């Protein structure tokens, strides 16, 4: 459920001129190098090999000076069941939006930070003044509840190589915003799931 909700949030952010790497809810992928050291990276199901180009799949969401920005989502809670009313099953979840910015590529190298403007823009786009539907979910509402303190701890679950820590200092910037998403699934409105014919190798 959370990955599907993440795609709804991701679609609301598509088309921003300052975003060139955008993904939905990520999972942690692991890769072993020749010395069997394990590195961990964020990776999302909507990232295809074609999207990744020369970067390679695991590097798509990793900050570097060729990218102007990276935005992706993390699942903080799973789907929490709040109760039922008739055929409506009510849930909420917490989703964190992680953003990284390359101020030089964005034309703001001389600014100490632009995160306040970017965060305000994202919250304005994501928060919903009215509930909306996006099948199979109904009565979706999105509310920003917290902006995390700026700290490399935001990236702690990933083991980027040491040299990448330079991309967390000026002229680069980053932020994390937590959202609560409330939503309903109506038991009578869930479409039947059908298996597709598998592709031949």
- pLDDT tens digit sequence for 4-20: 999 999 999 988 889 98
User: How far apart are the C-alpha atoms of 137 and 119, rounded to whole Å?
Assistant: 26
CB 66 within 8 A of CB 152: no
Angle (deg, nearest 10), helices 2-13 and 115-126: 120
Q: Looking at residue 112, what DSSP letter applies?
A: S
In sequence order, which ranges of 72-182 are alpha helices (DSSP H)?
Answer: 115-126
The pLDDT tens digits of the residues spanning 92-132 come to: 999 999 999 999 999 887 777 788 999 999 999 999 778 99
Q: How many domains does the chain have?
A: 1
Residue 45 included in any domain: yes
Residue 80 included in any domain: yes
Highest mean pLDDT among 24-33, 65-74, 126-135, 186-195: 65-74
Residue 81 included in any domain: yes
CATH assignment at residue 24 = 3.30.2000.10
CB 137 within 8 A of CB 183: yes
Residue 134 included in any domain: yes
CB 91 within 8 A of CB 80: yes
Listed in sequence order, the residues at least 6 apart from 110 whose beta carbon sits closer than 8 Å to its beta carbon are none
The pLDDT tens digits of the residues spanning 137-155 come to: 999 999 999 999 999 889 8
Residue 195 included in any domain: no
The candidate with the shortest Cα–Cα distance to 159, out of 57, 25, 74, 42, is 42
Residue 193 included in any domain: no
Listed in sequence order, the residues at least 6 apart from 38 whose beta carbon sits closer than 8 Å to its beta carbon are 30, 31, 32, 159
Domain coverage including residue 158: 2-188
The pLDDT tens digits of the residues spanning 45-92 come to: 766 544 444 445 557 788 888 889 999 999 999 999 999 998 899 999
Q: Looking at the predicted structure, is the pLDDT value of residue 2 above 80?
A: yes
> What are the φ/ψ torsions at residue 171 (nearest 5 degrees)?
-90, 30
pLDDT score, position 65: 85
User: How far apart are the C-alpha atoms of 198 and 200, rounded to whole Å?
Assistant: 6
Residue 198 included in any domain: no
């Amino acid at each position: 459920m959370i990955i599907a909700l993440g795609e709804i949030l991701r679609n609301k952010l598509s088309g921003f001129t300052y975003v060139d790497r955008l993904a939905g809810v990520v999972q942690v992928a692991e890769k072993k190098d020749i010395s069997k050291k394990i590195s961990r990276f964020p990776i999302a199901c909507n990232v295809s090999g074609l999207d990744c180009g020369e970067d390679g799949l695991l590097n798509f969401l990793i900050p570097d000076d060729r990218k102007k920005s990276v935005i992706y989502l993390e699942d903080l809670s799973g789907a929490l069941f709040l109760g039922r009313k008739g055929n409506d099953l009510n849930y909420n979840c917490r989703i964190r939006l992680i953003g990284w910015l390359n101020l030089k590529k964005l034309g703001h190298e001389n600014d100490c930070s632009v995160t306040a403007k970017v965060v305000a823009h994202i919250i304005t786009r994501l928060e919903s003044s009215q509930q909306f539907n996006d099948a199979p979910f109904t009565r979706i509402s999105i509310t920003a509840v917290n902006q995390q303190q700026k700290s490399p701890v935001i990236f702690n679950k990933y083991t980027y190589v040491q040299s990448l820590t330079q991309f967390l200092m000026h002229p680069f910037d980053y932020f994390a915003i937590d959202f609560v998403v409330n939503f309903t699934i109506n038991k009578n409105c869930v479409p039947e799931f059908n298996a597709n014919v598998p592709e031949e190798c």
